[in-house]
Structure formats: structure tokens, C-alpha cells
Amino acid sequence: MRKLFPLLIALFCLSLSGCTQEVNSGRIMFYNTENFFDTIKDPKTDDAEFTPTGLAKWTSERYQHKLDNISKVLAAMSEAEVPIAMGLSEVENKKVSEDLTNTPALRKYNLGVIEQDSPDPRGIDVALLYNKKLFTVIITEFITVRLPYSDVSTRDILYVKGRINGGELHLFVNHWPSRREGPITSRPKRCAAAMVLRNKIAQIISADKNARIIVMGDLNDNPTDSSIVNILGAKEPVEPYNTSSLYDLMAKPYKDGKYTLKYHQENDVFDQMIVSENLIDKTSTVHVRGNEGSIFKEKWILFNHPKYGEMPNRTYSGPRYYGGFSDHLPVYIDIDFTR
């Protein structure tokens, strides 16, 4: 009976939804997957371009190739550290995310999917894939962003509160309005998204001043832009730290001339990892390793442009199909857990 007792405890633990494995460290990632559509026309959205008869000639073969490419990147990012969560943007629907988790490269991680259709006219959403063995979801919320001076809707902000190693993490996945109208004209829209996010974070901190917060996403702004610095209040992690502040872990990579996407010779870091102060406190039992985020920039996901040099190897450029990965590079942070 004594030998059976640990087995009975393990079986009982597995039967509880909140019972997960503990780890010493893990990785949190974000990837803008660039127009990750299925091949089926959705009558509620403007997705006709990405169908077999549409402008992109988006066939089942191309869709499968995209699944293989994106899963290859996420799997490669998961080799050095076990994945805790993967934020995604420009994913059309939950079925696409589920197809991604069922690819041979990612199936072994037993990833759950959190996604719902957003009010974006083209039907592109944000999603969170999470490691069900490590991360227990407590709360999920899709937060509406109202845009000023516009009747066009944008993507929701996805908020997920979860438990790992007995503690809680608050994760936000974002895809703020684009710069299609120009960076200055479109700035109020991103500032509106930043204000919605800021208010939600303030609500969380008012209930728990020690809340551990991670903001990830394609914010369509660089770490020095007003939406991030002035509205959201995120800054480069330079001591002395302020316990009430947010810190942009992509500020230093941007200052050093790195990029997650390129427009001609301009280097941009629109893909962000922003954290609360307690996550850069190395005395904390849960903290980010180092004081900056990382950009996954392997040669095999890059294209060497004859004029502009290395840049992300994208799937499309306009209507031209290249069969690459994405026009963005993914970013990540590593979390250490100490006892």
C-alpha cells in the first residue's frame, strides 16, 4: 500500500484541472505570423484575398506550407527552454491555431489555444497558445478597443490570468492598429489601444500590487513612441527601478539597432515584451533572465535583399508569393523560478 500511495497521489493530481508540473525556467514568446488565414471564405469578414480563387491564390498546399513554417520557428524557439506560452497575431481563427498546435513539430508540447473572432474587418485575431502541463488558465478576457475618429474596428486585447509553479502571471496579447494611414495620422488609434491596456493593468494592480504582468504583441510602434512611453508608461529598464512602472524589454535591442521588421533600410521593433517591475527584480522568486528581450533571428528565416540586406523572409510581398515565414521576427523572454 505504501508503494501505491505516490501513484494514487499522482493520479489524483492529474484529475485536477489546476494541478500542473513545476519547472525551474521557461520561455514566453510572441510571433506576428503574417496573414495566417485558412482557405475558407468567411462570410462575416473581408478574407476573400486568402482563398484559392482570391488574389493570393491561397491553396491548401500553401496553407500547409505556412503551418509547417510557423511551427518550425516556434519549435526551434522551444529547444533551449520549455515553452510556457506563445502569443500570436494575424491568425484568422481558432481552427488555424489548433491546426498549428497539431503539427508534428508542436504536438509534443500539448498546447492549449485561447482565441476568439475579433471585430477586425479582415478577421485577423490574436491568440495565446499555452503549455497545459505547466500553465493553468484562471481567467480569460477579450478586451474591446474603441478607436477615436473611426468607424473601423480593431483587434481585441487578449488578457489571460494563469497559474504556474503555484504563482500567478497576467498575460496580455496585443496587435495595435497599423500605420497604413501614416505613423502620425494613425497614432491616436494606437494611443487609444495603449490607454485601454493601461486602464486594465491599473485595475489589476489595484487589486494586487504584486501582480506579475507581461505585455506582448505587435504594437505597431517602437519603444520610444508616445503610445508606449507616455500613454502605457513603459520605459527602458535602467536602475533605479520604480515599483509602479512597466519596463519595455525591447527598448535596448531597438536602441542597439536591432529589428523585428524592416521597411527598406529602416529598422523597427514593433514586437514588444513589456513587464512589471517585480519581474526584473532578481531577488524575486519569479523573474526575467536578464534585462532585455530577445529576437529570434536565425539565418534560415531571413532573406538577403540585394538592396536592403537581411530581413525577415515573408510569405507574400503584395500579391507575390515567396513561401517564407513572416514579415516579422518573433521575440521572447526567459523566466526563471527560484525557491
Cell reading at 315: 510569405
Asked whether 157 and 196 are in contact (CB, 8 A), the reply is yes
Confidence of residue 9 (pLDDT cuts 50, 70, 90): very low
Cα separations in angstroms, 310 against 265, 278, 301, 316, 331: 10, 36, 10, 16, 17
Looking at the chain, the whole-number percentage of residues with pLDDT higher than 90 is 86
Q: What are phi and psi for residue 90, nearest 5 degrees?
A: 60, 40
Is the pLDDT at 13 greater than 60? The verdict is no
**Nearest-angstrom CA–CA distance, 149 and 187:** 12
Supply the mean pLDDT for the chain.
93
Asked whether 159 and 171 are in contact (CB, 8 A), the reply is yes
3-class SS of residue 12: helix
Q: Tell me the whole-structure pTM to 2 decimals.
A: 0.93
Residue 16, pLDDT score: 45
3-class SS of residue 320: strand
Is the pLDDT at 208 greater than 60? The verdict is yes
Residue 31, pLDDT score: 98
Q: Residue 112 belongs to what H/E stretch? A: strand 111-114
Cα separations in angstroms, 234 against 87, 133, 155, 331: 19, 31, 21, 17
Cell reading at 278: 517585480
Confidence of residue 6 (pLDDT cuts 50, 70, 90): very low
Q: From the centroid of its chain, how far is CA 31?
A: 5
State the average pLDDT over residues 177-182.
Answer: 92
Is the pLDDT at 10 greater than 50? The verdict is no
The hierarchical CATH code for the domain 21-337 is 3.60.10.10
pLDDT, tens only, 65-107: 999 999 999 999 999 999 999 999 999 999 999 999 999 999 9
Question: What are the domain boundaries of the chain?
Answer: 21-337
